Structure 1
């Protein structure tokens, strides 16, 4: 993209990516993950130096290896997450950023689940380590990460209260949560407290400003607010009230928690969850490479109900 703006700024151009340099590989990509952060980059909320190639995750086959690369060779399948420049049919990437794919995890599955699944992993294992018997509230439970996190948390033994923004998304939340409610329900806080009388142990907030009063009312004294997203804008925190109740707010981006030595273990736990069919009811929504503008429009308008992926 040459400028920020509507999905129309996303243009396909042909260029020679060249040969890999020291420590790099050339990855021929046939599956590219699409995430809401891509929309925020396109609209300028997360600035990138222009012209820019958006996108942060993809999977494919290595067809060239640069000097000094160890552990990868031509023909290996690999993927990456939260590395710039994913919207491309081929790219040069540092080998240290790659994740080798197991034989039973397809490129499409990797590009569909890697960034979203590892963000859910961050919530369940890093921001707060879920234990069986805990009660959690997921705001934005129909979104890509929220739907993955809800199902995973249930499998770990948590009682999951999921909140959806619309009637049409409520069914999706019901499929992944123990209890499901609409964000517009005037009795929402009362219903949450009926399930967890002292308040929920953890709130996973993907919404932000619009539902933050619900967050503060729902969490128990000494509980945790895991702020993973802010689709409606950053909340104005009632810091004095939160601090006086001993509530911790934990936040951060996935790369802060999934990096270096944690990557192998986190990805293996994610693939085990995929193999265990925890997410088998979550459908991939496939877009051709030349439909990236349509994919962005669907995400931005909240029409998307599955996990989006670009196929090449």
Structure 2
């Protein structure tokens, strides 16, 4: 038991040393309840054209399919709430995309984490993920005691709100587990539901992804955004933070300490005219390490044209 406690303490202290704000641990097991909810969500078509969501269903619900012999699921949170924000009149970019692409930042941290585990504990097998594999990150975060799933579908922490990236480290290391977060502190509040510009937030913490502004501005590959969305984007160029901005728990949000997420000067200062005059060559240079490269230059220009015509 002493060894198990030591290993757990090492995991928690290493997470802190790598800059993660939270670290929780859950027992690796099949997520049967989540499997039923996911199946229902997919059957209703809430994934829209994100067909990749239909893939690897068994991997999403069973961590041992990703890491044979998995015993522990470590969940890590990294704050991305910016100290500075855009001018409200400019085309709006979701806060998570102000700085460097979080996939790259967190991937390096997880790689270092695994190396440190092997160097200090031994022949441990594990894999790290951050929104890049079929892992139900928010479910594991709740099971590891970090927070609850809000009505807007986001993980909410009681002390710091919801502006966090979630990373998952699945390992065959036997660790002490944290108690799951049982209580739901949303109560009767419906601010996120009432404020969603496209009515994408449904009852029972179900999100219709095919209606979300983030879906249309980031994931949609079509050259044209459906006309039925006209007048609903409220100047959103890339992503949407409305359901988090109105959440009372985010009054506790604290500015980032991770320098990689320091906002790009262009994100903070670009006017509508600057975005309109942006060339593809300049886009590739300025946003080469940014999440904005996902919809590519053509997608950003499509979004700009759409919100300019509203």
TM-score by length of structure 2 reads 0.25
Point out the structure with the larger helix share: 2
Point out the structure with the larger strand share: 1
TM-score by length of structure 1 reads 0.25
